[in-house]
Amino acid sequence: MRGIVVAVFVFVAVVLASAKQGDSANTQDASSIPVVAQTLAEQGKARALPASLRGRIKFKIEEGAETFPLPSGQSPAVLFRLPEYSAPYTLTVTSLPKGFGTWKLFIPTIVLLDPAFQPTREVSEAEFTFKPQTFSKSQRLEGEIPIDESSRNARYLLMYTDAALLGELYGVHRNKPYGRPLSALKVDVKLERSGHGSLEVEARPVKQRSTQTSR
């Protein structure tokens, strides 16, 4: 499994779309990803992560934001320019729920792309974990993406959501995943997939372990 730290809350990424939805999603050509990414870059909309690997970018996808034809349908999309690779680092992508009762949440699909906007890796929503509120942080959906030698050619990160599943409901319960229908379940947090929301992307270097051993 790739590096997502499991929290005491588990985000339920259960896809229960109908066969009709699945057929519709499959009609979209995955080649739309490079086209959308290049379009955003040419429009000057690529957000650059700091070369120092210290800091984060906060942003909002507003209601009514421009959408693009992507593999799962029309979705908002955000493009980030990654720093030139020199040493391993970690990208942390965070999506913050909004509302009360049933919280609306933008659930990201992430694609890493090379300098020619060709996909090198997809990070599915199943690799994200829903984490509870703490003293310093709000409840959130969070995923960590390691960038190392195997992905050193990654130069862009494209973020969008599965448009075919917008409006789907999910539940989060302590130490136990739940799916639909929520009416029959006792859950701590109810989530509705949304096409907009508040997100953060943070880059930080990987701490190198000392090779010295004590004598």
pLDDT at 117: 97
Could you give the CA distance from residue 77 to residue 121 in angstroms, rounded to a whole number? Answer: 17
pLDDT at 188: 67
- Residue 68 maps to which CATH number? 2.60.120.380
Could you give the CA distance from residue 140 to residue 95 in angstroms, rounded to a whole number? Answer: 6
pTM: 0.78
198 domain residue, yes or no: yes
Q: What is the pLDDT of residues 62-82, one digit of tens each?
A: 999 999 999 989 999 999 999
Range of the domain at 99: 19-205
215 domain residue, yes or no: no
pLDDT at 25: 40
Tokens 């507003």 correspond to what residue?
62
pLDDT at 29: 66
3 domain residue, yes or no: no
pLDDT at 85: 92
What distances in angstroms separate CA 118 from CA 36, 38, 51, 155, one per listed residue?
A: 11, 10, 22, 10
Number of domains forming the structure of the chain: 1
What is the DSSP track for 21-32? HHHHHHTS-TTH
What distances in angstroms separate CA 200 from CA 65, 91, 211, one per listed residue?
A: 17, 10, 33
pLDDT at 178: 37
Provide CB contacts within 8 A for 167, sequence distance 6+: 192, 193
Let me know the angle formed at the C-alpha of 79 by 30 and 81, rounded to the nearest 5 degrees: 115
172 domain residue, yes or no: yes
pLDDT at 93: 94
Q: Name the β-bridge partners of 100.
A: 102
CB 80 within 8 A of CB 49: yes
pLDDT at 186: 54
CB 119 within 8 A of CB 157: no
118 domain residue, yes or no: yes
Q: In which residue ranges of the chain is pLDDT below 50?
A: 1-28, 174-185, 213-215
C-alpha closest to that of 6 among 108, 144, 133: 144
Q: What is the pLDDT of residues 140-177, one digit of tens each?
A: 889 999 999 999 999 999 999 999 999 988 777 644 44
8 domain residue, yes or no: no
150 domain residue, yes or no: yes
212 domain residue, yes or no: no
